[in-house]
Structures are given as C-alpha cells and as structure tokens.
Amino acid sequence: MTESTLRHVEFGSGTPLVLIHGYTVDHRILLPLEPLFAERPGWRRLYPDLPGHGASPRLAVRTTAQAMAEALFAWIDAELGDRPFAVLGQSFGGQLARAVTARYGERVLGSALLVPVVRWGGGRTLPEVTVVERDDPLPQEGAAVAERVLFPYVMARQTKESWEQFQKYVMPGVRAYDQVAAAELDLEFMLPQWPEHQVPPHRGRHLLVTARQDALVGWRDQLELLDHYPRMAAALLDGVGHNPQLESAGTVRGLVGDWLDALR
C-alpha cells in the first residue's frame, strides 16, 4: 500500500463506499446521505477531504484535476488495498468518481454521480439561474456578501430551511479550502480527456442524478454519459439546484438507496 495525506471520516463496516465531494467544499456536503444507511447495514462509508479542502493539506505540486485524481488514487490504494468498492461523487467529485471507475475497472462495483462535472467554462450547456421558492425575508443577518451571492447560485429554493442547510453543509467547507490551490485548480479544472474514452464501457450498476435548475453544471451535457454506462439509471429532478442531496434529500436518498441495493 502507498501513503496518503488525505484526511477522511468514516462510518459503518462492510463493503467500502467512497463518497467524493466537489470543488471548494468538503466531505460535510454529502453527510445528508447518511440516514439512508440506517436500513442498509454492511456499507463502510469513507468520506475523504480532497487535497486543499477540509482537513486535507494542499498538494505539494501544482493543483490540477489530474493531480487531484492521482492523489485520490493513492488514498484509495492506501485505504482499500485490492478490495472491491463502490464510489459516489458530486460535482467535481463526480468527475473524479468517473476517473476512479476508469482506473480500477471491475474492482468498482458501480458509481453514483450527483450533478457531475462533464464540461466547464464556456463549454457548458446551462439553464438560467432560477428561484423556484422564496421566503421573504430570509434570515441572512450577519452573513458575508460572498455567502449571499453563492446561496442563490447553488440552491434553487431560497427558503429558511435551505439557508440553514447551506450554512450547515456547504459553508464549513467554503470557509476551510485553500484559496491558492483552488485558484490553481480553476485553471486546469478538467481531466485531459473523458475517463470513459480510455476504457471499455463499465458493466456495473450506475446512477446519474441531475437537476433541472442546476445553473453551475447544467443537466443536458451529463446525459451523454448514458452512452458509456450500459446499466446506468438516470434521474432529472425538478425544483432543485446544484445540491439535490440538500434540497431534495428524501428523493436522492431513495435513488442512492435503490442503487446500493442493486449492487448487492
């Protein structure tokens, strides 16, 4: 096994499930999935903080998508050895989850991709920023300007409940990330090529969850992934933005739970 500087938290025991967060947040953004495991014992859930995010130090080299993937591979090797595992990734973590599936092949039982990054910059097909529900006024007293700007960009429901979820699960990671490393990553945010173009179609069970009001990565581009995963189920959720596991937690937990059941 190799050594890794990535920090992680884990719960449970059994078949490993690696859950990978996105850009400038940390593992806490995926913790709303935890309740689904109350009725699904036998899963060891590992939540790493990517380099320069959460509790993990930045890379010793320049931060790029490829360097992040290599660091994640080293951590998987150190933690899991040659054991089979499943992987879930959100946003930028979805791009890395795809790279993990390509790298480890049949050792990966399957993947769940929540609003995954497939394109960036001007290459994205994006909907307008849309607010589907709003509480007036919102309890934003004392919030920094950056928080107020980010909130409507990643959450389609501008409600008291959404604001509380945003503060609990999104902002801790936003406050903790390494800004220099994030700026480096922003310049090389995409892997050199789609991971799926390097390997045969993966035959495991896969799940794609997209959101109709996701103004950060969109939903149309992600549908191209269906051509590369013969056993991929897909859901397009309405009324939520880039954090469906927060804004539509029950639905997403149900979808992820069904996917996990299919892996057994």
Residues contacting residue 91 through CB under 8 Å, at least 6 positions apart: 21, 22, 23, 114, 115, 116, 117, 216, 217, 242
The encoded tokens of residue 32 equal 């709303």
Question: What is the pLDDT, as a whole number, of residue 245?
Answer: 98
Q: Say whether domain 8-126+177-263 belongs to CATH 3.40.50.1820.
A: yes
**CB atoms near residue 113 (< 10 Å):** 28
Residues in the chain: 264
The four Cα atoms 41, 44, 45, 49 give a dihedral, to 10 degrees, of 170
Residue 255: is its pLDDT beyond 90?
yes
Question: What is the pLDDT, as a whole number, of residue 138?
Answer: 83
Higher pLDDT, 29 or 137: 29
CB 109 within 8 A of CB 84: yes
- Kindly tell me the number of DSSP H helices and DSSP E strands found in the chain: 8, 9
Preceding omega of 137 cis (within 30 degrees of 0): yes
Mean pLDDT of the chain: 96
pLDDT classification of 3: cutoffs 50, 70, 90: low
Most confident by average pLDDT, 3-17, 107-121, 129-143: 107-121
This prediction has a pTM of 0.96
Query: What's the alpha-carbon Rg for the chain, to the nearest Å?
Result: 17
Q: What is the mean pLDDT of residues 87-96?
A: 99
Q: What is the pLDDT of residues 207-241, one digit of tens each?
A: 999 999 999 999 999 999 999 999 999 999 999 99
pLDDT classification of 139: cutoffs 50, 70, 90: confident
Question: What is the pLDDT, as a whole number, of residue 2?
Answer: 44
Residue 1: is its pLDDT beyond 70?
no
Question: What is the pLDDT, as a whole number, of residue 142?
Answer: 77
Least confident of 26-35, 91-100, 120-129: 120-129
Residue ranges covered by each domain of the chain: 8-126+177-263
